[in-house]
Amino acid sequence: MLGAAQDQLAPIRLSGHTLDKATKAKVTLENYYSNLIAQNVERQQRLAKLEETLRDEGLSETQKQEKRQQHAIKETEFLRLKRSRLGVEDFEPLKGTVLLSINFFNVFLNFNFFPFFK
């Protein structure tokens, strides 16, 4: 009976590869959630700033509500753009102008894809 108890308490030996993978997963999750928290704080600050400007401008309640809706639409679009993945179809050559060339990999920018550059 004593031997069975000692087997349960024996440390589990993990390979270096497994430990590396676990560390990478931990760092990835920590970065992901710390970024989410930071982004939420930034959104709350933008909303507080909007509310402050609405209070200072002395607008009617309907105008304030309209500005809040516009803000919500902009925030939603911003978050959607952050989640979207860029693909080859999102870029267009700029009349043969190479902006950056690294190891035969050419980078072209399409400013039409990002509405905040307009």
Total number of domains in the chain = 1
Q: How many CB atoms lie within 10 A of CB 70?
A: 11
pLDDT higher than 70, residue 3: no
**Any domain includes 93:** yes
Q: Tens digit of pLDDT for each residue in 43-74? A: 999 999 999 999 999 889 999 999 999 999 99
Interval 70-91: pLDDT, tens: 999 999 998 888 888 777 776 6
Give the Cα-Cα-Cα angle 13, 14, 18 (nearest 5 degrees). 175
Considering the domain boundaries, does residue 26 fall inside one?
A: no
Query: Higher confidence at residue 105 or residue 43?
Result: 43
Between 19-28, 31-40, 68-77, 83-92, the lowest mean confidence (pLDDT) is in 83-92
Residue spans of alpha helices (H) in 1-118: 2-9, 16-57, 61-83
- pLDDT of res. 6: 56
Position 75 in a domain? no
Establish if 98 belongs to a structural domain.
yes
User: Model pTM greater than 0.75?
Assistant: no
Instruction: Write out the residue range of the structural domain in which residue 96 sits.
Output: 88-118
Dihedral of CA atoms 69, 118, 111, 33 in degrees, nearest 10, equals: -40
Distance from C-alpha of 106 to C-alpha of 110, rounded to nearest angstrom? 13
